[in-house]
Structure 1
Amino acid sequence: MQDRALGDGAAPAPRHPYQIRDYRLFWICRFSGVIATLSMVVVLGWQVYDIARSDYGMSRSVAAFQLGILGLVQFVPLFLLTPVAGLAADRFDRRRVAALSMGIDMLVAAGLGLATWFEILSLPLLFALAALHGVARIFLGPALNSLAPNIVPAAMIPRAIAMNSIAWQFASVLGPAAGGLLYAIFPTLPYIVSVGLLALGASLVLMIKPLRKPDVDRTVHPWRQVRDGLRFVWNDRFLLGAISLDLFAVLLGGVTALLPVFARDILRVGPEGLGWMRAAPAVGAGVVALWLSVKPMERNVGVKMLWAVGAYGLATAIFGFSRSLAFSLVLLVGLGAADMISVFVRSSLVQLNTPDAMRGRVSSISGLAISASNELGELQSGVAAALLGATGAVIFGGAGAVLVTLIWAMAFPELKNARTFAPAYRE
């Protein structure tokens, strides 16, 4: 059930998430925040690789390894603070936690903008600000992800997740593209825009009406609650399989970290081309998310998730062979479409198989797995690129993602046996 009444008894029940005021605020907050973050991140990756090549005189392979270091410095705070972030989302006002996290990211964007303006960028400074960005992300994820199920009725959660994905994916198209284009116009401009968008997102999330706090036993010691969240995921083979599948598949198959290498030295398309390549997966994902918001998936959802992860790995491997920008963009669009199907199914099943009192902690664990797959995937890509070259690293990673999918399909039959999105916990 919804956590609070949407109106008086005469008001018609909402039939779509957009009919709920607070969900609209949530959606715009998410949309603006993702544009800001990804615009900032794509420029940050370009600056790390470009400075490593030009200012430090590093070779292509050594500079590519710096992109791996960039992922590592973001992952370390994520790893250390994930238990605290999940507990914060379950014990405190999720709106305020989200707003504070966006405020921290505003400071990161402002710092990067000032350093770019005064031309004092260095690898240590970029890595330090990237680590602070990781701190903001780990608190923002569980708080925002746990808000939506409190705003919409349980039966509407799959559709709300599709709409959330539309916000994420279309912002993922605009953010990287805007970051690359704005940087080409004036290097400080993408950071200025990010500050404004993050301020907007923080204001909107605070405009959401106060929510009923999760029914968490506050007499239990906080660290025991953290342990209970970890034990809950570990003992639920379905949740463990779904979360770990994403972790290992994207850890191996992530191509995003090496896109600056392809943009600068392989395809030679510059920061503008990097922006389009970073945006391309979100184009495919956004189209799929839009379709799922109109016609949500209902049957054989587990099998479809497994096929989607396999397709993601295959598209990644083929991308490594491409030397055409147009063909590379097509592959990245297909990769994003496959990933969206996997994200939609996994997110819906995880939310509906988790009681509300556990959602913050389970979301933080899921967020850690996603961040580990992204940031440690960047480290893996950087190391593999240093050993195999960028092309070899991408092909190896894509093939590994396909292999992981086959292993998980056999090791976790609960995944392929998931037929529908029927909730395991009713509120």
Structure 2
Amino acid sequence: MISFTPLKTLENVEFRNLLTGRFFIVLAFRMLATLLGWWVYQLTKDPFSIGLIGLSEVIPAVSCALYAGHVIDMNEKKKLLLICNYTYVFLIGLLLIPAFFHTQLHFTGHEITYYIYGVIFFTGIARAFIGPIVPSMIPKIVQKVNLPNAITLNQATFLISSVCGHAAGGFLIGLFGVKWTLLVIISLILIASAFFWQINKQYSEYKKEDIKILESMREGISYIFKTKEILGALCLDMFAVLFGGAVAMIPVFATDILKSGAEGFGLLNAASDIGSMIIIMTLSMIPLQKNQGKILLVAVAGFGFCIIGFGLSNYYWLSFIFLVMSGMLDGISVVIRGTIVQLKTPDHIRGRVLSVNSIFIMSSNEMGQFESGLTAKMMGVVRSVIFGGSMTVLIALLIGSTNSKLRKMQY
């Protein structure tokens, strides 16, 4: 069993710079996700159009992920991180064109929507690279004894920025509109780059000619399938979030069911992240000591029940509470899953394993957004959310009963 030293890693200046940069860039990404969901729904009034945002990003992200893992393991990571950072600045800058000049250019709502999908397609390529880079850099920055705590703090940073990003996105849209919110998002990404510049370079342990691309990518996939704890945790996350992605339909709930407006939408959109932030900050001080595998399974099943409750609720604050509870349970699963993946992955293959991990994450989040939009169109919004929560509970029961190594997992 690992001896945790809560908050010890924050004494490491380089780790603080990495976390601070990640805070600002995730803040920007969450504000962008909130803005795009709201913007597209206002343009189309079609829940399915929200689902297509996720599909537009996940196709290139998943397609490029294995190659991205190879590139990360074979190259200097700081340089790649900064390239991705500035690529996002350029791509999000392209969204300023319809935001500021749609009247002069006589864009229709559907034309703007298709333009947004096109830009998001290219951000998906950038995401394939930037997603695994930060977690792959952490083990080189902190000592191994502090790694579980560093992973927890990394997740806490992610969730704090998510909470702020979701809420700020909704408030800024309501106060200043889409175009000025986009400018804030670009500014935040530039601030993130200033902190990333302060990180030391991390060179590859390989010479580029030492390993072929296909062989390299196959090595990452093979390692995950041989390690049943990692495979079980990733499958659990992918299918649970795929079916339990109620957050994608929050613009519809806020507008048509709960009648909460842009401000209420921002807070509701941040609710699950608030719950996750609370629990992850707690776990950074009081870590789980045993039975992590069983706790993971229970947390995912409980997450599914909360999604069902959200779908059944017609009251704003009750819906908010269900989402906060779902976030708390999701936070537990995030910490356990992230720790399992990092502790059981050797340094030389970390980028490739984390890229495969990102495929599971992106498949669950963005395909979950698409699945939510599709089932909402087929079943209606409320029924689709209840269906998704029910499937999440079933997935937890199925994986728990078939993967004994995950069920017995302790670290």
TM-score, normalised via structure 2 length: 0.94
Alignment counterpart, residue 294 of structure 2, candidates 296, 303, 309: 303
1:313 aligns to 2:291 (yes or no): no
In the TM superposition, 1:9-408 aligns within 5 A as 16-53=8-45, 63-119=46-102, 120=107, 122-187=112-177, 188-215=179-206, 218-408=209-399
For 2:265 and 2:148, locate their aligned partners in 1 and report how far apart those are by CA, in whole Å: 33
Higher percent of residues as helix = 2
- Give the SS at the match of 1:193: helix
Q: Which amino acid aligns with 2:285?
A: V
Shift of 1:237: 1.5
Matched residue type, 1:89: I
Tell me the distance in 1 between the aligned counterparts of 2:289 and 2:91: 41
Q: How far 1:235 sits from its partner (Å)? A: 1.9
TM-score, normalised by the number of residues in structure 1: 0.91
Give the Å deviation of 1:203. Answer: 2.5
Question: Given that residues 7 and 284 in structure 2 are in contact (C-alpha distance below 8 angstroms), is that contact kept between their aligned partners in structure 1?
Answer: no
Query: How many residue pairs are counted as aligned between the two chains?
Result: 399
Alpha-carbon deviation of 1:109? Answer: 2.2
Retained in 1: the 8 A contact 2:7–2:285?
no
Following the alignment from structure 1 to structure 2, what is the Cα–Cα distance between the partners of residues 348 and 285? 16
Contact 1:216 1:357 in 2 (8 A): no
- Describe the superposition over 1:96-140 as per-residue Cα deviations: whole angstroms up to 9, x where unpaired: 111111212112322223321223461111111121222222110
Query: Residue 210 of structure 2: SS of its match in structure 1?
Result: coil
Deviation at 1:349, TM superposition (A): 0.8
Equivalent AA in structure 2 for residue 68 of structure 1: G
SS at match of 2:239: helix
2:395 and 2:38 map into 1 onto residues whose CA distance is: 30
| CA distances 1:153-188 after superposition (whole Å, capped 9, x unpaired) | 111111111111111111111101111111112221
Give the Å deviation of 1:344: 0.1
- 1:166, 1:374 → 2: CA distance? 18
- Deviation of 1:38 after TM superposition, in Å, equals 0.5
Cα deviations across residues 279-305 of structure 1 (Å, max 9, x unaligned)?
111111111111111122221111111
Structure 2: distance between partners of 1:381 and 1:217: 42
CA gap of 1:299–1:217, structure 2 versus 1, over 3 A, is farther
Identity %: 31
* In structure 2, C-alpha distance between the alignment counterparts of 1:84 and 1:201, rounded to whole Å: 25
Aligned 8 A contact 1:309 1:405 in 2: yes
CA distance in 1, matches of 2:264, 2:68: 36
- State the alpha-carbon separation in 2 of the partners of residues 112 and 340 from structure 1: 32
Contact 1:99/1:201 (<8 A) preserved: no
Who is 1:416 aligned against? 407
Q: Give, as a single letter, the amino acid of the residue that structure 1 aligns with 2:47.
A: A
Indicate if the aligned counterparts of 1:14 and 1:20 stay in contact, CA closer than 8 A.
no
Whether contact under 8 Å (1:158, 1:296) holds in the other structure is no
**Residue type at the aligned position of 1:270:** G
The unaligned stretches of length 5 or more in structure 1 are: 1-12, 54-62, 421-427
Distance 1:214 1:302, change over 3 A: farther
Q: Which residue of 2 is the match for residue 8 of structure 1? A: none
How far, CA to CA, are the matches of 1:310 and 1:96 in structure 2? 40
- The whole-number CA distance in structure 2 between the counterparts of 1:369 and 1:388 is 26
Tell me the CA shift for residue 416 of structure 1: 1.2
* 1-structure distance, mates of 2:273, 2:216: 36
User: For the residues of structure 2 that align with 1:234 and 1:75, how far apart are their CA atoms?
Assistant: 22
Q: Is the 8 A contact 2:14 2:141 kept in 1?
A: yes
Do 1:178 and 1:190's aligned partners in 2 also have CA atoms closer than 8 Å? Answer: no
Could you tell me which amino acid in structure 2 is paired with residue 362 of structure 1? V
Contact between 1:233 and 1:362, CA under 8 Å: does it hold in 2?
Answer: yes
CA shift for structure 1 position 374:
0.7
Residue 217 of structure 1: how far off its partner (Å): 7.4
1:89 and 1:367 map into 2 onto residues whose CA distance is 13
